[in-house]
Amino acid sequence: MSDTRFMQRSLMLAKKGLGYTYPNPLVGCVIVHEDRVIAEGWHKKAGENHAEREAILKVKDSTLLLNSTLYVNLEPCDHHGKTPPCTDLILEKKIPRVIIGCLDQNKKVLGKGLKRLQEGGCEVKIGVLDYECQSLNCRFFSFHQKKRPYVILKWAESNDGFIAPNESHKEYWLTDPMSKQLVHQWRSQEQAIMIGVQTALNDNPKLNTRLWKGNNPIAVVIDPQQRLSKYIGNLNLKSNEFITIRDLDKRSENNPLAAREILDQLSEKKLQSVIIEGGTKTLQHFIDANLWDEARIFITKAKLKSGLKGPNINRSLIHNSTKINEDILITLYRD
Candidates 304, 10, 300; CA nearest to 137 is 10
Residue 27 Cα distances to 19, 86, 127, 255, angstroms = 13, 12, 15, 38
Q: Count CA within 13 A, CB hemisphere, residue 83.
A: 19
Q: Is residue 157 among the annotated active site residues?
A: no
Q: Is the dihedral of CA 259, 261, 266, 272 positive or negative?
A: positive
**Alpha carbon distance 157, 178 (integer Å):** 16
Among 40, 52, 277, 294, which one carries the catalytic annotation? 52
**Alpha carbon distance 59, 48 (integer Å):** 18
Instruction: Label residues 231-266 b or e (16+ Cβ within 10 Å = b).
Output: eeeebebeebebbbbeebeeeebeeeebbebbbebb
**Alpha carbon distance 274, 135 (integer Å):** 16
Which residues are marked as active site? 52
